[in-house]
Structure 1
Amino acid sequence: MNEQLQSITGVILAGGQSRRMGRNKATLTVQQQSLLEIMLNKLRSVFQHVVLSGSQAAAYHTGLPVIDDFFPGCGPLAGIHAALKLCAGRGVFVIGCDMPLVPPELIRYICNCSNFDLVVPRVGDYLEPLCAFYHRSCLPFIEQALNQGRYKITSFFPRVRARYLTAEEISRFAPPDRAFFNINTPADWDRFCALYPDLKA
């Protein structure tokens, strides 16, 4: 493991309400593994330190440290804030528990670009802020946004040195639509099971 990765903590956001899914998507199972277990295995293959973020995360009994939000009920930005505030090192790589096809090699690539305040994939007009690196230098800008009631993750991006990965870069590791396949609804889950029954990332 290189020095860049040793100084970064892998953070899985696992405290969401899964309202659109109608059930806890972290526990959805493919080939006898839950989505959360799949994400844990990916991050453990990349990072020395992995934590869970979110008030619900302790219920999964993974044995990993669990980080609670300082701004409860304020969405994923609050989870990123808490992780930066509490984790040692240069910064954190943050990912949701519902993106099971992200290749570990892409995660490593994102983190090896971490001489920026922020490294986030961009595909067309869409950013993937829940598969991104956040340097500790982002913390004051995130805290200010939360204090001002601005909960959209991207609201502070113009204020930091951001590196946006291109679709061409991402495609070295996987087609972008596969890498960032996100499971939010029952329809997403049905489509995922139909398209990727083998779950080969």
Structure 2
Amino acid sequence: MTRERQDRPSRTDPPTAASVSTVSDTTDASDAPDATAVVLAGGESTRFGHGHKALATLDGEPLIRRVVGTLRAVTGRPPIVAVRTADQRERLAAALPTTWDVRFVRDDPSLSGPLAGVAAAADAVTTPWLFVAGCDMPLLEPHAVAALFERAASRDGDRGDGEHARSVSSNDDRGRLKPPAVVPVSGHGREPLHALYRRAAVRENVSELAPDDGLGALLDRLDGVEHVGFDALPESVDRSVTNVNTRTELARVAAGCEVRR
């Protein structure tokens, strides 16, 4: 774990174009999709026990700081943190450096779970893409995130924000719909909390969803989602999607045992 963490871009210093470009050997930062990272932190952490799990520490660092810092470096801009209550915002903001300029949004009250945070973030940003992750993913790997950016950029020639814009590749002169989302797929299924969503696609479809729907329901509504198998991504993606729901799972991660769910 130590060696791999040393390979990460700095999560303390302000990200630069040079540091962002180092997260992938094949991705040029200038070709990456224009994306804002969204960290979902509005859950009640009922399985974790006392306290918000985003404030639990790994290697002496709060999970929220690890996640936000990594995504800030990869995207080159302050992430959005989605919370449910003003108290959550106050406590999480205290765990983050003020110089990171992190923005907070309140979950959409008409929705629930992760979808509520994604919907609120889609209304708060102007970038064409959102990269969505949970606050409980302490092993997020820049190379794995950047590989998804590269995948989206290769489908997104003019970086248009419209869900139904078309791009033409040298291998397909008929053109194709630009994907409304780019989602990793493992042996466990889709990984919607380690995925890119086109902002326009979220905004155009969220009103059709039920209050208790999740991100899976959103993805099911979208036509042309790009599903990317783990075998087409860096090996670090298996670590990157790891999330912790209990203190036992966090202890296993701290001991070097990865936890998927």
Contact 1:18 1:184 in 2 (8 A): yes
Q: Which residues in structure 2 correspond to 1:6-45 (within 5 Å)?
A: 7-22=34-49, 23-45=51-73
Out of 189, 210, 224, the residue aligned to residue 126 of structure 1 is: 189
Contact 1:5 1:46 in 2 (8 A): no
Contact 2:81 2:105 in 1 (8 A): yes
CA distance in 1, matches of 2:197, 2:246: 27
Higher Cα Rg, which structure: 2
Structure 1 residue 6, shift from structure 2 partner: 6.5
2:52 maps to 1:53: no
CA RMSD in angstroms comes to: 2.1
2:252 maps to 1:191: yes
Determine which structure has greater relative contact order: mean sequence separation of CA pairs < 8 Å that are 6+ residues apart, divided by chain length.
Answer: 1
Query: Where does the alignment leave 5 or more consecutive residues of structure 1 unmatched?
Result: none
CA distance in 2, matches of 1:25, 1:141: 30
Q: What's the secondary structure of 2:151's corresponding residue?
A: coil
For these two proteins, the number of residue pairs brought into alignment is 193
Write the letter of the residue equivalent to 2:204. Answer: P
User: What TM-score, normalized to structure 1?
Assistant: 0.86
1:110-167, CA deviations, whole angstroms, 9 ceiling, x for partnerless residues?
122223210111102421111111102322212321xx33422111223322111102
2:207 maps to 1:180: no
Q: Percent identity?
A: 26
Contact 1:6 1:48 in 2 (8 A): no
CA distance in 1, matches of 2:111, 2:60: 31
Contact 1:6 1:47 in 2 (8 A): no
Contact 1:9 1:51 in 2 (8 A): yes
Per the alignment, residue 100 of structure 1 pairs with 138
Would the alpha carbon gap of residues 4 and 88 (structure 1) be closer, same or farther in structure 2, given more than 3 Å must change? farther
Structure 1 residue 188, shift from structure 2 partner: 1.1
User: What TM-score, normalized to structure 2?
Assistant: 0.68
